[in-house]
Amino acid sequence: MDLVNETTEEQAIDQITVYKVSGRRADVVSREEADAIYNQPFMDLLFKAHTVHRENFDPNQVQRSKLLSIKTGGCAEDCAYCSQSARNGSTLSASKLMEVQAVLAEAQKAKEGGASRYCMGAAWRSPKDRDMAVLEAMVQGVKELGMETCMTLGMLEDDQIHRLKDAGLDYYNHNIDTSERYYSEIITTRTFADRIETLNRVRDAGIKVCAGGIVGMGEKQMDRIDMLLTLASLKEHPDSVPINMLIPIENTPMAEVEKLDPIEFVRTIALARILMPKSHVRLSAGRTDMTDELQAMCFFAGANSIFVGDTLLTANNPGEDKDAILFNKLGITPMAAGCDGKK
């Protein structure tokens, strides 16, 4: 049986056009087409997204990454959602960059817990040159443990990117966070264009790109769609696309924002899968407040990666036991390190 329901309407939705976003060449659907995909009847959207997912991945495999905050709090940036911004009046105390051995001990535990990728995050606008040798040693050490390496350190200069690449960095995470239109409501200390520039530099240096954003920050539906269109319009699709549901943090400007309807969240995941068929779409922050059924629906819609362990950077995450039960119930198996799960 042909899995694709070939209606005229669906053919119209499938039409791929070429257009430019902010001067970057892009082979992506237009905003109108993306809107039509996002807003089609939910069952049709899920069917389409799952079909695309199956064409590109084993739908029963999910990749697992573990996060560690290697430098917490006291950040000079004003990201309105973040517990680590010194400007947000958060009660989180700032700490120094961790010692290499302490990071490697944590990475070893994550490996034993089954994570295939280790992502080290720092609450910085960008790293200082004096920190680079320590960061390089962390990358080298985690690589030697047999895990994929990822860092998220803010904006990077070319020489910093090359040093990290030479140390063995596989992935760099840098999120665009929201649409270009809504961005200035969320962050004023660095621009949307700054983010794109860092992403392009990372890609040009041959490091795999992990780029996504946050939903549930009071944005409009069109902002979620535009955010995904921008990601799909990068020179190459990001290898990983983390979709974070806002974790509201006390004392931040986002603490009381209205919760996003979970169906809208699933629609966002589905559009990400359809626009970026070969990327790993990560069901990222916010899983602690999601039911098993919602997470299962996200996996069906094309999410195939998660963060594991009971903490993200500073906030809670479901933890290994809960995830093992969920995977077992759903018949999901973890992707091995170095295996991209692609067909």
Nearer to ligand SAM, 82 or 232 (CB): 82
82 is catalytic: yes
Question: In 3D, which of 336, 216, 227 has the Cα closest to residue 275?
Answer: 227
Question: In 3D, which of 154, 167, 150, 172 has the Cα closest to residue 64?
Answer: 150
3-state secondary structure of 278: coil
Rounded CA gap, 38 and 280, in Å?
A: 19
CA-based radius of gyration for the chain: 19
150 is catalytic: yes
The residue type at 34: A
315 is a contact residue toward ligand DTB (CB under 6 A): yes
339 is catalytic: no
In angstroms, the Cα distances linking 342 to 55, 57, 201, 242 are 9, 4, 26, 18
85 is a contact residue toward ligand SF4 (CB under 6 A): yes
- Picked from ligand SF4, ligand DTB, ligand SAM, none, the partner binding residue 156 (CB below 5 to 8 A depending on kind) is none
Tell me 311's DSSP state: B
Site for ligand SF4 in 87-146 (CB under 6 A): 123, 125
Nearer to ligand DTB, 13 or 186 (CB): 186
Helix (H) or strand (E) holding 306, with range, is strand 303-308
Nearer to ligand SF4, 125 or 143 (CB): 125
Helix (H) or strand (E) holding 307, with range, is strand 303-308
CB contact set of 262 (below 8 Å; sequence gap of 6+): 290, 294
We find the least distance from the C-beta atom of residue 215 to ligand SAM, in angstroms, to be: 9
Question: In 3D, which of 81, 84, 88, 89 has the Cα closest to residue 69?
Answer: 84
Contact track, ligand DTB, 102-141, x by CB under 6 A:
-------------------x--------------------
219 is a contact residue toward ligand SAM (CB under 6 A): no
79 is catalytic: yes
We find the least distance from the C-beta atom of residue 114 to ligand SF4, in angstroms, to be: 27
Question: In 3D, which of 243, 170, 240 has the Cα closest to residue 202?
Answer: 170
88 is a contact residue toward ligand DTB (CB under 6 A): no
- In the set 64, 163, 210, 224, the catalytic residue is 210
**CA 51, 55, 61, 64 torsion-angle sign:** negative
Nearer to ligand SAM, 37 or 272 (CB): 272
Site for ligand SF4 in 135-194 (CB under 6 A): 154
83 is a contact residue toward ligand DTB (CB under 6 A): yes
298 is catalytic: no
CB contact set of 260 (below 8 Å; sequence gap of 6+): 215, 216, 245, 246
In angstroms, the Cα distances linking 333 to 104, 323, 326 are 26, 11, 10
We find the least distance from the C-beta atom of residue 154 to ligand SF4, in angstroms, to be: 5
Residues touching ligand DTB: how many (CB under 6 A)?
16
Site for ligand SAM in 58-77 (CB under 6 A): none
231 is a contact residue toward ligand DTB (CB under 6 A): no
Q: Which residues bind ligand DTB (CB under 6 A)?
A: 67, 83, 121, 152, 173, 175, 212, 242, 244, 247, 284-285, 312-315
Q: Which residues bind ligand SAM (CB under 6 A)?
A: 81-82, 121, 123-124, 152, 154, 174-175, 177, 214, 244, 246-247, 249, 285, 313
Q: Which residues bind ligand SF4 (CB under 6 A)?
A: 75, 77, 79, 82, 84-85, 123, 125, 154
